[in-house]
Structure 1
Amino acid sequence: MNSSSSRKGGIGRHLAATAFSFLGAAALVAPLAPAAHAADVTTIKVLNWEPGGAEYWKQLVAAFEKANPDIKVELETVPFDRYPEVQGPYIATKSGPDVMENNAGLELYDRRSAYAELPADVLEAGKELITYSGGCLNFDTSKSCYGLPFGYQGNVMYYNKKVLAEAGLDPANPPKTWDEMDAACAKIKSVGKTCLALGLSGIFPAYWDFPEVARNYLTEDDMRAMLTGDMPWTDPKMVNILKGLASITQKGWANASAPSITMLPDGADLFQSGNAAFAGTIISDAVNWAAFDKALGAENVGAMRWPTLVADAPLAGSFSGIESSVFGVSSWSDKKDAAFRFVKFMAGPENAELLTKVAGGISLYKNVDPSALPNSPALSQILEIIKKPTLHAGVILSGQEADALARGWQEVTLGQLSIEDWTARMQKALEQSPSKRKK
Structure 2
Amino acid sequence: MATAAMLAGCGGGGDAADGPVTLKVLTWEPGGSEYWQQVKTTFEASHQNIKLDLQSVPFDKYPEVQGPYITSQSGPDVMANNAGLELFDRRGAYVPLGDRAAEINKDLVTYSGACEGFDTSKACFGVPFSYQGNVLYFNKDVLRGAGLDPENPPATWDEFGAACEAIKNSGKTCLALGLSGTFPAYWDFPEIARNYLTEDDIRGLLAGTLSWKDPKLVQVLEKLAEITTKGWTNKNAPSITMLPDGADIFQRGDAAFAGTIISDAVNWEAFGKALGDDKLGVTRWPVINQSAPLAGKFSGIEGAVYGVTQWSEKKEAGLEFITWLAGKENGELWVKHAKGQPLNKNVDPALLPSSPAFKKIQEFVAEPTLHAGVMLSGPEADALARGWQQITLGQLTVDKWADQMQQALERSPTKKQGN
Who is 2:230 aligned against?
Answer: 251
Partners of 1:121 and 1:227 in 2: CA distance: 25
Who is 1:350 aligned against?
Answer: 329
**From 314, 324, 327, the counterpart of 2:293:** 314
**Alignment check: 8 A CA contact 1:154 1:320 kept:** yes
The 1:90/1:172 distance shift into structure 2, 3 A limit, reads same
**From 305, 320, 326, the counterpart of 2:305:** 326
2:87 matched to 1:117? no
Who is 2:277 aligned against?
Answer: 298
**SS of 1:222 mapped into structure 2:** helix
Q: CA deviation at 1:39?
A: 5.4
Partners of 1:437 and 1:121 in 2: CA distance: 28
**Alignment check: 8 A CA contact 2:180 2:239 kept:** yes
**SS of 1:170 mapped into structure 2:** coil
Q: CA deviation at 1:121?
A: 3.6
Superimposed CA distance per residue, residues 18-64 of structure 1 (whole angstroms, 9 cap, x where no aligned partner): xxxxxxxxxxxxxxxxxxx9951000011101111111111111111
Q: CA deviation at 1:312?
A: 1.7
Who is 1:43 aligned against?
Answer: 22
2:265 matched to 1:286? yes
**Alignment check: 8 A CA contact 2:251 2:271 kept:** yes
Runs of 4+ in 1 over 2 A off after TM superposition: 119-123
Partners of 1:337 and 1:104 in 2: CA distance: 23
Q: CA deviation at 1:411?
A: 0.3
Who is 1:369 aligned against?
Answer: 348
**From 243, 263, 272, the counterpart of 1:264:** 243
Amino acid at match of 2:105: G
Amino acid at match of 1:368: V
2:402 matched to 1:423? yes
**Alignment check: 8 A CA contact 2:209 2:417 kept:** no
Partners of 1:253 and 1:360 in 2: CA distance: 30
**SS of 1:40 mapped into structure 2:** coil
Who is 1:378 aligned against?
Answer: 357
**SS of 1:199 mapped into structure 2:** coil
**Alignment check: 8 A CA contact 2:98 2:123 kept:** no
Partners of 1:69 and 1:119 in 2: CA distance: 27
Identity %: 63
**Alignment check: 8 A CA contact 1:430 1:437 kept:** no
Q: CA deviation at 1:369?
A: 2.3
Superimposed CA distance per residue, residues 125-171 of structure 1 (whole angstroms, 9 cap, x where no aligned partner): 11211111111110011111101100110000000011111111100
**Alignment check: 8 A CA contact 1:320 1:391 kept:** yes
Give the number of aligned pairs. Answer: 403
Q: CA deviation at 1:119?
A: 4.6
Superimposed CA distance per residue, residues 46-89 of structure 1 (whole angstroms, 9 cap, x where no aligned partner): 11011111111111111110110000001111111111011111
**From 369, 394, 401, the counterpart of 1:390:** 369
Give the unaligned 5+ runs of structure 1: 1-36
Partners of 1:90 and 1:256 in 2: CA distance: 37
**SS of 2:341 mapped into structure 1:** coil
Who is 2:6 aligned against?
Answer: none
**Alignment check: 8 A CA contact 2:209 2:416 kept:** no
Q: CA deviation at 1:172?
A: 0.1
Who is 1:20 aligned against?
Answer: none
**SS of 1:165 mapped into structure 2:** helix
**From 205, 212, 233, the counterpart of 2:184:** 205
Amino acid at match of 1:262: T
Partners of 1:293 and 1:233 in 2: CA distance: 38
Partners of 2:98 and 2:375 in 1: CA distance: 25
**SS of 2:244 mapped into structure 1:** helix
Q: CA deviation at 1:431?
A: 1.4
**Alignment check: 8 A CA contact 1:122 1:340 kept:** no
**SS of 2:295 mapped into structure 1:** coil
**Alignment check: 8 A CA contact 1:122 1:344 kept:** no
**SS of 1:124 mapped into structure 2:** helix
Who is 2:134 aligned against?
Answer: 155
**SS of 2:213 mapped into structure 1:** coil
Partners of 2:377 and 2:77 in 1: CA distance: 25
**From 101, 104, 110, the counterpart of 2:80:** 101
Who is 2:5 aligned against?
Answer: none
Give the unaligned 5+ runs of structure 2: 1-15
**From 397, 407, 416, the counterpart of 2:386:** 407
2:196 matched to 1:196? no
2:124 matched to 1:145? yes
Partners of 1:38 and 1:353 in 2: CA distance: 32
**Alignment check: 8 A CA contact 2:133 2:261 kept:** yes
**Alignment check: 8 A CA contact 1:151 1:363 kept:** yes
Q: CA deviation at 1:370?
A: 2.5
Amino acid at match of 1:232: S
TM-score, normalisation: structure 1: 0.90
Who is 2:71 aligned against?
Answer: 92
**SS of 2:143 mapped into structure 1:** helix
Partners of 1:89 and 1:430 in 2: CA distance: 23
TM-score, normalisation: structure 2: 0.94
